[in-house]
Structure 1
């Protein structure tokens, strides 16, 4: 009003379904013949997806840095771990309290698993992309999760994507959703319902949503998800989430978490339907 010039402002509000929206508004003053402002015309657009995608990319930069460190760490400790594992197997043949050796071997298997996850962070984009039916992929993942967590009920809603195909690395995308469902199960130790919903988002994108009614997370924890060594669990390396972010980056998509303490968590994974240019 004072300077009679257009001005842009960004603000947030709550959608009627409870989700948070980020809006961009540009106000342009309309003047009369006496150069007095009679009206202000606002053009408002929903920039939620853009802001979330930018936040996702910033996290990717941090993960790329730790990926360089991961390669060095994995190289340094892989050989000693392999040697120790061999000696433990030799000692086991003497039948000296074999239950202790079973525990030690299990710990070594866990260490090897962590090393594999570190190495994954340093790998380049997968070249094993192929067309996959999204509905069938989600059915198989949900079935595996249901068998491993019988106290939970997996409710799958995929009517909107029944004939939809993704151009993806099937094993990596399965790893993403198995990890996300595993997190949802662990957040509900007494069992409960987990909803998995897939629907088209525009003509070239699909959104897969996973909603649980578990313990939820604070705003501070949400801001740090996907960062190196930060986990949704009190005891964890955070590597699972880092790999999830990395895989989704490979597929030119992005992921968004929304949660509140004791109110559950909603995860939204956005993936493009078109073939990524880097894999052509």
Structure 2
């Protein structure tokens, strides 16, 4: 009897399997690899011992399955005999998902190695490696990059706004003084009826117009006011810590939260308050280049206020520099503008709060006091 086609290839593959596979066989490394051997129809002919803990199936159970029962079918070709867009006769490496026995999916990396015998393709080795941890790290890094971009954009926007505001306030102040003098002398001249009255009226109206412009410039010097709402302080701080956790982890910094409240509310603008605490936590992280502990404490005060403290273990701030923090354009950072602390302080004042900074050689503590919201 002469054997033709796929039947002959299947027999050759089984002979190859029986003569080459054993429990200590390893394809790619000295370790025991989780791998399966499939024929050209996508049926599993062999599974290594390492497949059992990885996939949850016994080796005997695996050999009853086809690719379409093990791998998520979105990764398979139309015939479900191999992987979509892949050539079975070439060495290949790609990511896919398998359906483990518990009913969930597992992210894996697959190395496909073709099996040839007498120049005939018989099937493939599929070496399977769990990449769940690698993929989670990749996602975390992508999110960290997104968060960092958001933080940098917020910081850049707020500092540009603050710069414009400080310049506007300075210009308005310098113009207002001579305008006040001019207006005063104009009123004296008008009272003495010296000169043509219509000229005085034109001059007076133009001065009024300048004063309106000055008032608009002064608005730029303050953070934009938003409609305030009740804000759960613990929820707000938890969100901020979650946002900054990745950056802290990358700098070998552990964030410790200690809140002596569970359900405390304040009245304020959530986005502005986030901007304040993100700025302070970011500064604390930058103050600890060698890592350390960063404490975020929250304590209710007897006078109807709550205090949030951000405590780092940096080298501290010299007293001469500490006294200048918050001044426009004063900064110790190479690419800083010195306006981040100023804007944060203005936001705290807008929320009827207070700020205190303490620093020594053991680190720096920033204490923010805010009034507690009362429904009474």
Please name the residue that 2:161 is paired with: 116
User: For the residues of structure 1 that align with 2:231 and 2:305, how far apart are their CA atoms?
Assistant: 14
Equivalent pair of 2:159/2:343 in contact (CA under 8 Å): no
Deviation at residue 116 of structure 1 after TM alignment: 3.1
User: For the residues of structure 2 that align with 1:197 and 1:127, how far apart are their CA atoms?
Assistant: 27
TM-score, length-scaled by structure 2: 0.41
Superposed CA deviations along residues 9-45 of structure 1, whole A, max 9, x for unmatched, are xxxxxxxxxxxxxxxxxxxxxxxxxxxxxxxxxxxxx
Please name the residue that 1:131 is paired with: 230
Corresponding pairs, count: 166
**Does residue 372 of structure 2 align to residue 273 of structure 1?**
yes
User: For the residues of structure 1 that align with 2:258 and 2:223, how far apart are their CA atoms?
Assistant: 33
CA 1:124 to 1:233, structure 2 compared with 1: closer, same or farther past 3 Å?
closer
Equivalent pair of 1:231/1:241 in contact (CA under 8 Å): no
Stretches of structure 1 that go unaligned for 5 or more consecutive residues are: 1-107, 276-280
Please name the residue that 2:258 is paired with: 157
CA 1:178 to 1:110, structure 2 compared with 1: closer, same or farther past 3 Å?
closer
Please name the residue that 1:219 is paired with: 319
Please name the residue that 1:190 is paired with: 290
User: For the residues of structure 2 that align with 1:266 and 1:211, how far apart are their CA atoms?
Assistant: 4
- Among candidates 280, 284, 296, match of residue 180 of structure 1: 280
Q: Superposition pairs for residues 78-89 of structure 1, below 5 Å? A: none
Identify which range, 236-245 or 266-275, moves more after superposition: 266-275
Equivalent pair of 2:159/2:340 in contact (CA under 8 Å): no
CA 1:113 to 1:268, structure 2 compared with 1: closer, same or farther past 3 Å?
closer
CA RMSD across the alignment: 2.4
Please name the residue that 2:242 is paired with: 143
Equivalent pair of 2:265/2:373 in contact (CA under 8 Å): no
TM-score, length-scaled by structure 1: 0.55
User: For the residues of structure 2 that align with 1:256 and 1:124, how far apart are their CA atoms?
Assistant: 20
Equivalent pair of 2:240/2:277 in contact (CA under 8 Å): yes
**Does residue 363 of structure 2 align to residue 264 of structure 1?**
yes
Deviation at residue 209 of structure 1 after TM alignment: 0.5
Equivalent pair of 1:225/1:232 in contact (CA under 8 Å): no
Stretches of structure 2 that go unaligned for 5 or more consecutive residues are: 1-152, 166-219
User: For the residues of structure 2 that align with 1:113 and 1:272, how far apart are their CA atoms?
Assistant: 24
Superposed CA deviations along residues 120-176 of structure 1, whole A, max 9, x for unmatched, are 662356232100110110011011111222121110111x22110010100001110
Please name the residue that 2:205 is paired with: none
CA 1:245 to 1:110, structure 2 compared with 1: closer, same or farther past 3 Å?
closer
Deviation at residue 274 of structure 1 after TM alignment: 3.7
Equivalent pair of 1:200/1:206 in contact (CA under 8 Å): yes
User: For the residues of structure 1 that align with 2:156 and 2:293, how far apart are their CA atoms?
Assistant: 32
Deviation at residue 213 of structure 1 after TM alignment: 0.5
User: For the residues of structure 2 that align with 1:224 and 1:195, how far apart are their CA atoms?
Assistant: 24
**Does residue 247 of structure 2 align to residue 171 of structure 1?**
no
Please name the residue that 2:352 is paired with: 252
Q: Superposition pairs for residues 223-242 of structure 1, below 5 Å? A: 223-242=323-342
Superposed CA deviations along residues 166-225 of structure 1, whole A, max 9, x for unmatched, are 101000011100000000000001111100000101141000011100121011111111
Question: Considering only CA atoms, is the larger Rg found in Structure 1 or Structure 2?
Answer: 2
User: For the residues of structure 2 that align with 1:145 and 1:161, how far apart are their CA atoms?
Assistant: 21
